[in-house]
Amino acid sequence: MENRVYKITLIEGDGIGHEVIPAARTVLEATGLSFVFDEAEAGWETFERIGTSVPEETVEKIERSDATLFGAATSPTKKVEGFFGAIRHLRRRLDLFANVRPAKYHPVPGATPGTDLIVVRENTEGLYVEQERRYARGRVAIADRVITYDASYRIVEFALELAERRKGRLALVHKANVLPLSDGLFLEAAYDAAKRHPTVEIEEVIVDACAMRLVRDPSQFDVLVMENLFGDIISDLTAGLVGGLGIAPSGNIGERAAIFEPVHGSAPDIADKGIANPTATILSAAMMLDHLGEPQVARTIEDAVDAVLEAGPRTPDLGGKATTQEFAEAVAEKLKELLRT
Ligand code: NAI
Ligand code: MG
């Protein structure tokens, strides 16, 4: 077989990003695939040093590479003049319209067996257009929630294609009972897109009922698609179903670029201690390989992660004593063993 060389941009970002990205790199290097890694910077530390959280050079590197693996970036809770959130900026700048968040059972405490679903979150509009205003001497605030036919069609089309490769079921998650004009438009676009995918079984679910059904029995879902804020909240819920932030991977996918990242943030409370759980980043790296056309290797990484989560060593958040790098090396060893057999 021809040996492809994958060009991967690595962005550590802030906090535990500096720990989980090297850990995932250790695992990628154990796959036997050929990579050229290029490091780029983004985030709060970058802003403090050079006055922007996303340098132009970083955008160019992401566009030039086959895919990017991103750690996490810190955002201050107070408004800082000139600062913008790195990942939000990149999603918009590169039109990474699909935020893909799988929630799959892995053997960790608190995870619900039988969970194997994917939340597809629209990544470019909704409330995240960040248009807020105050009126009435500051006593009234309004935020715009933008829903367009085109963005809705595009995200549902993406979810339909994903569903076709999986169990063939798609839940359209909405609140059209209260928001018939905006979420009604989302549904209209969704059914237009669905006409071209007659084999996918479509179900409409109102977002609040969706939250309840997910908690009671997540195994009833395959792919779920929804607008930005619903996706933000529901995908944190589904991350909780499979053991929390240390586990949950994600992808931000567009036509021109793709960035894979753990769902968690920069975790300043545990940064620099070498104890962050790199599972979410390693699973994000596996998603990246699947996206690049290496589904077999991606699945083997998942199997290696599961084997180590089961037998140890585990990181402290899962009750173990392993460092970030010790866990990653155990996964890398297991991976090499599985790839040999
Ligand atoms: P967080 O995800 O960083 O941390 C929440 C809690 O989970 C903390 O107690 C943390 O120690 C723990 N945790 C997170 N990841 C872990 C891991 N891999 N291993 C073990 N424990 C882990 O969320 P938080 O504290 O709300 O935000 C911290 C910073 O991260 C903020 O500046 C926030 O803006 C940023 N953030 C960035 C994201 C991104 O880059 N995509 C996403 C979410 C938050
Ligand atoms: Mg979130």
Whether residue 122 is found in the same domain as residue 202:
yes
**Last residue in a domain, options 241, 261, 277:** 241
pLDDT tens sequence across 277-299? 999 999 999 999 999 999 999 99
Domain check: are 117 and 235 in the same one?
A: yes
Residue 192 catalytic? no
Please tell me the pTM assigned to this model: 0.94
Closest of 264, 208, 266 to residue 240, by C-alpha: 264
Domain match, 86 and 139 both? no
Residue 8's nearest CA partner among 193, 243, 284, 325 is 284
CATH number at residue 60: 3.40.718.10
> β-pairing, 140-143 with 132-135?
antiparallel
Tens-digit pLDDT profile for residues 78-97: 889 999 999 989 998 999 99
Angle at 96 between CA 141 and CA 52, to 5 degrees: 70
Domain that holds residue 181: 112-241
Q: pLDDT by residue (tens digit) across 26-65?
A: 999 999 999 999 999 999 999 999 999 999 999 999 999 9
How many domains, the chain?
2
Q: 142 and 79: one domain?
A: no
Is 128 catalytic? The answer is yes
183 labelled catalytic: no
Residues 175 and 231 both lie in one domain: yes
Closest ligand, as measured to the CA of 21: 1
Q: Are residues 163 and 116 in the same domain?
A: yes
Q: Choose which residue among 264, 283, 309 to substitute to test ligand 1 binding: the one with the highest number of ligand atoms within 8 A of its C-beta.
A: 264
Q: Are residues 93 and 197 in the same domain?
A: no
| Ligand nearest, relative to CA of residue 47 | 1
pLDDT > 80? residue 1: no
Q: Where is the domain boundary, 177, 206, 241?
A: 241
**In this structure, which residue's CA is closest to atom 8 in ligand 1?**
267
Tell me: do 152 and 251 sit in the same domain: no
Q: Do 287 and 337 share a domain, yes or no?
A: yes
Nearest CA-CA partner of 284 in 303, 260, 266: 260
Where does a domain end: 241, 276, 309? 241
